[in-house]
Structure 1
């Protein structure tokens, strides 16, 4: 979520009707609460979305690793109405794919929001927030016209949440995404969240003609929107009128079929990736349970007294989620705490309650030409494998909502820019004192 959108919503809460959710797993009392600091090794070109001629906003990255030649691996980054960008390991742009066109001048255009790479399939899946659909891409590093190609079968790509184009134009559409290949069946699935609502849908990719792909919906569920507090009262996060506490950042652990999902104003959830069973709230945002009321004049929520039921590691919004796979098993779930520009790390093992481990942030480097830090991060991707000479022990790609230094447009006004930072995973291991090997 952008800073503009975040400022508009603020942290707002209101008392509402009851609902019961699975108990929160408490972080261990001895957990280290200090925040480690790392710097970026490279950054992609700045993207702009403003009156000065920009048409793109960086949002969500995914990494495609070339197993035959890791030095030739690619980073895919969504650019919203600007489509999809493709970068090499030096953070240079190698391809730009436009967002799908609107059906007519009166309809919403495509808006590529989240993207995932499917391991072992040379495919990427993205949510088209503008048209309420998935877009499927094939990846071939040696393709002459560009390594990434749209292979969506339009006749097999239905709306995900909308009944018709009129509903699509209301933009309660496909938003967050987590996709994976089932290790037993080889089938490819995607879990997709709905903007403005607490709905989540499970989809399965389908093979269509001439190497194209479509998808079908299996089921849709609702995440909790009202919560029973320890003092017996109930609480619902305050949203703009007509909205529900919705989700965006997600990741599936294909090794055990678990989905990790971030409900932006609530916290981090875990549940079965097939969307059966009940979700478990692993950790809460700091202002969980704080009552507030919506003020229509200021278009903000006015918070009341904090009853003290919130967590200590996540500051809303809860955004991007990724995994650090450790060879031989184990690893970490990493979550973007957008409100304080940190990344919280949890034990990957559900049997250990996904206990909190450590947090880190990406700060500005020192000296002339140093790369700035990452602020207000929407999403990130971490791959704990060798990428050759550039990142021999793994790569973290992190969205920066406020790229600096600020660029001034022809009108003399500052242009708000976004981009992606590349961080050497060895630096994260050193700063946090954790082993990823």
Structure 2
């Protein structure tokens, strides 16, 4: 008699946490209002604009991947909402020439058409917190998923990460009345991928392949398309899904890369200079709730006012009962202190 083999049960969150490397705890200092889409996985990815003239008046753009884009103040208030439909990830750059005048450019991965990815572009008005649509740029066949911007002295690019692991590099032209773009090269990871970020000092693109691990590429449009693996999703230092990415630049090429270790509600930290592992942390309950099942993250060092004097780390919170999902705000100084970083 043949006995059919039984599939191993999926490990619980408690089991994944118990098997993972130790993680220090920090507490968020603030949170945003909840997204409007309730009872589903809706909030996904944040992008931070730092106001250099008035840091406490900085803004956070966050996606509701079922509905559109929110703009929040650092007090968590929902300042503006743009009905963009299914936009998944978001990134921004300040002082970008848009139609001949400098502005804050916001780019979101638009998957309203699952067969044809697009990059939805907006100008962010810092005075009113409003998003003004500029138009959409085609970014390749397939479902749009992750996105990150890359600016050099000569050009502006977007990396569109499709759900199947294809990465299209799109050169953008914002000089005209409507934005335009062209795919200048394509890279590929083997399975579902999403989070990405570019270190513009070193020209390195980092991409998270959810069930496999963390990779880096040469971001130059004429660079190698071969990925270099930094870390495996080994269930210890990095627990699948590997999701959002963010970096904190220090000096000419130093600083840290942060990765959402979604599978055990933690964040792994690596050195940018040598890809070395630094440690892990979790956001525990405190003045606001704890953070679980994080998708997108963003981090900007620098002064953000009295609550975040050394930098701001923003995380999507996948569990925010009794309300819908939202974004939590943590001081970068608190994370560095907990991990013993300089």
Once the two structures are superposed, residues 250-308 of structure 1 have per-residue CA deviations (whole angstroms, 9 ceiling, x without a partner) of 11100010011100010000111136322111110126xxxxxxxxxxxxxxxxxxxxx
The runs of 5 or more residues in structure 1 that have no matched partner are 1-9, 12-32, 100-109, 163-171, 226-244, 288-311, 408-416
- State the superposition RMSD in angstroms: 2.0
Contact 2:63 2:89 in 1 (8 A): yes
Residue 40 of structure 1 aligns with which residue?
Answer: 28
Contact 1:400 1:420 in 2 (8 A): yes
How far residue 208 of structure 1 moved from its aligned partner, in angstroms, is: 4.4
1:220 and 2:148 aligned: no
| 1:367-382 → structure 2 map (5 Å cutoff) | 370-382=287-299
Provide the secondary structure at the position in 2 that maps to 1:427: helix
1:399 and 2:302 aligned: no
Q: Which has the larger radius of gyration?
A: 1
Once the two structures are superposed, residues 101-130 of structure 1 have per-residue CA deviations (whole angstroms, 9 ceiling, x without a partner) of xxxxxxxxx311100011432111111022
How many correspondences in the alignment? 313
2-structure distance, mates of 1:82, 1:265: 27
- Flag as ranges the 4+ runs of structure 1 deviating above 3 A: 48-51
Contact 1:119 1:181 in 2 (8 A): no
1:247 and 2:193 aligned: yes
Provide the secondary structure at the position in 1 that maps to 2:304: coil
2-structure distance, mates of 1:93, 1:113: 18
1-structure distance, mates of 2:23, 2:202: 29
The runs of 5 or more residues in structure 2 that have no matched partner are 1-9, 12-20, 97-103
2-structure distance, mates of 1:340, 1:356: 17
Residue 121 of structure 2 aligns with which residue?
Answer: 136
1:256 and 2:202 aligned: yes
Provide the secondary structure at the position in 1 that maps to 2:333: helix
2-structure distance, mates of 1:113, 1:274: 25
Residue 176 of structure 2 aligns with which residue?
Answer: 209
Residue 140 of structure 2 aligns with which residue?
Answer: 161
Q: TM-score, normalised by structure 2?
A: 0.86
Which of 81, 88, 92 matches 1:113? 88
Contact 1:341 1:377 in 2 (8 A): yes
Which of 228, 233, 237 matches 1:280? 228
1:193 and 2:161 aligned: yes
Residue 151 of structure 1 aligns with which residue?
Answer: 134
Q: TM-score, normalised by structure 1?
A: 0.68
Contact 1:206 1:214 in 2 (8 A): yes
2-structure distance, mates of 1:260, 1:392: 27
